[in-house]
Structure 1
Amino acid sequence: MIISQSFNHEEVLGFKFGYKLIGQPKLFSHIYFVDGLLIDTGQSKMRKSIIAATKDLDVEQIFITHHHEDHTGNIPELQALHNCDVFASERCCQMMKAPPKLSFIQKVTWGDRPAQEDLIPINGSIETKKFRFDIIPIPGHAPDMVALYEPTRRWLFSADLYLNSYIDYFLKGESISDQIASTKKILALDFKELFCSHKPQLKNGKQQLTKKLNFLESFYHDVSLQYDKGYSANEIFKSLKLKENWFVKILSNGYLSKLNMVKSVIRDLEGKKQVLN
């Protein structure tokens, strides 16, 4: 089943896309259009729908929030369709020259994406005719991830910082400590709408992101207590009675798992030990 929907909020046009071979999609990606700026390009699995939804827009420039496949899946097609430049952070530009390989479940859910050589690095801000968006690094979920913030309208395009008020699994290599720091940085901003790439919060966005921060900090604290007892990652997992999504873990060959969340806390704690020593 394919889901393709759009919505308007103030001067922002949002698009929601979901795909599942059998049954109702449960995972969605969003792309946003505001004043000539298209934010992200969505997943290649939804290419036809994304092209159809955006073909009549006056897209003057495209901005990529980070290298993940559900954000970069249609860069060449949309760039050619609109004959425009594509911008990203310097780190994202470098990563997209040789993007990481995807697991089986990522390819099935979102589709693959090609390497990109001609993304234009940009830092500080990106401007449209009417607005100026601050580019804010928010590493954690991805090392190159950035948010766009329009302070006069108090819009926050948060990429994958929010996702939900709780998290079931991490990608291998995600940093929970960086996510906590990035979330605190964003919560210090004066924003209203939280235009998340998967679950937008057009009301009470700051409250929802605060719940996410509380979840991450609580998880970190709980794992830390068990780690201080000398427990291993697997022992901590059992001690905290955590539950794994085995379907996701097996099909991703461990690239996606709740155990990765535990390991992320341990990596940070061990890193702090090394600094002290």
Structure 2
Amino acid sequence: MKAIILAGGSGTRLYPLTKAISKQLLPVYDKPMIYYPLSTVLLAGIREILLITNPEYVELYRNLLQDGSQIGVHIQYAVQEIPRGLPDAFIIGEKFINSDKCMLILGDNIFYGQGFSNLLKKAVKLEKGALIFGYYVKDPRAYGVVEFDSNMNVISIEEKPEKPKSNYAIPGIYFFDDKVVELTKTLRPSKRGELEITDLIKKYLELGELKVELFGRGFMWLDMGTFDGLLEASNFVETIQKRQGFYIGCIEEVAYRMGYIDKEQLYKLGYKMRNSEYGRYLMELAGES
């Protein structure tokens, strides 16, 4: 399975912060926002990654993440000239996907909770159809909403419904089989002129090939697309890291624990940033080994 991280868009909800920089490069406590979805991809065991962003930001991401070899993965870059919706990522990345299965994750989402790695390991084993997640929220009207029965069979998918049929929002992480490009090409733009991810998911529902997994109580999903969301995410990361001492979204640590790099490589990565707490954390991890 391959992975696409979508880091495009204009980030207008965060103006003026994003007038001169990509939203996904903004700091979330002690690291760039893009580190969090990238760490999720690494945790899933996926090492072939395509990052899609605006043309003016490609070199910024390349300077930050390089080709990924320093953390034992391969990162490619592609451009989305104008916002055309989330499924457009599969059309842009058609050659990259090359008839493989694909994970799509939004560049402004944080996922954190016990058992998350097990859910990801289960998801990447997907052989046929699509897999989405459900996250319980008090007011789901601002999200895509999934309705399902007692046997976890999906009944309906709705985008920002006025009267939601469930309280389960669909977070920005999706898994699709090798039909995803073919099905995306059958989509028509919505009234706002974009391809909608809910329409793509419905295609799989119509085929009877859509599965849903639920995030449990205590699991944290944060969307950092607003000022409040950005602040909430930074405060959350700070609280966990200071209280427990474990870092969230640390791509070098995840790469090391997944076996992509060894302790010597981890130490060298930390040493380059030794004047920061982040760098010293990596060096301490390597020393503990």
TM range (shorter): under 0.3
Specify which structure has the bigger relative contact order, considering alpha-carbon pairs within 8 angstroms and separated by 6 or more residues.
2
